[in-house]
Structure 1
């Protein structure tokens, strides 16, 4: 008599599992379930690429050693092996775009995202001079951005070879040289001085 009851319980559990799976699948595939709320602000995407030059012949090295960032890391993105990048979720207004790299230096760029008369997004990018505020008088860069490295950091100083000039220009060596002069040369100089003049000089020193 217990077997039918057990089978009924198993059937009920299976039905519940199927129902839960169906609800989960529906919520995952329903566009309305993942859409932003009607009142959420619209965001925009910034696109560009790192171009090769004599300083950085192969931008692919940046894919594992650098990244792009906006407003000091508020938004970040990786650099693709071909040098391309895109930063999502940017808002209207002013932003500072940088490339964070430990090996290469890149120019900083001021980004201004606004809406034109047709209501479409317009991006104006301008170089930022180090130590100076951004200015709308600077020329607007082409979009999508095309950025090239300006310098390569060199953290290694070549070992200097032996130099006799460097050795004797050391203050300690100069002090040692002066002491040697006082010990060896002064007695010889005093031996060549007239005894009367030497006695007179000693009397003046003692007096």
Structure 2
């Protein structure tokens, strides 16, 4: 099924932003170049955007722009996340992660951004759901399929505690029917990883 698109005119009106703001965010790489899709229309050529992805990104920019500079937001939204060099023992000192989660990393030497981000999502599930270890293993296996180093994801949870993970730019057609709501996303992971790195003295590689 083709993704639902929204025109530039409708986007500006819906979100109450100006042409200048939109293209400034594009120049600052807060909005990916590939989201600006030129299409023929009855007025000539018009720019369209993947509707769900661009609306969510603009909502996040508006929500975060008073806390971060545009350059900092570009780093948060960047698919090429900061490389981190943290060991399992380093992670244990933060006291953020349970022994169960740390045991999942017993064969890991140096932990990548992607691995730490998946641990953060697992811990969020454990904090909100009373899950046995067997269920935790299922969630971990599901998270292991995510390429968090190169893609952005949104994690949904239903009223029945079912889990759905999708890439940010992919459309979801059955979210409302099944009572799914957004639970966590990879931008929040990036912020949390940065906090962990900072608490450990900035052990990172740019």
User: Which is bigger in relative contact order (C-alpha 8 A, separation at least 6)?
Assistant: 2
Q: Which of structures 1 and 2 has the bigger CA Rg?
A: 1
Establish whether TM, by shorter chain, passes 0.5.
Answer: no
Name the one with the larger helix percent: 2
Name the one with the larger strand percent: 1
TM-score normalized with structure 2 length: 0.23
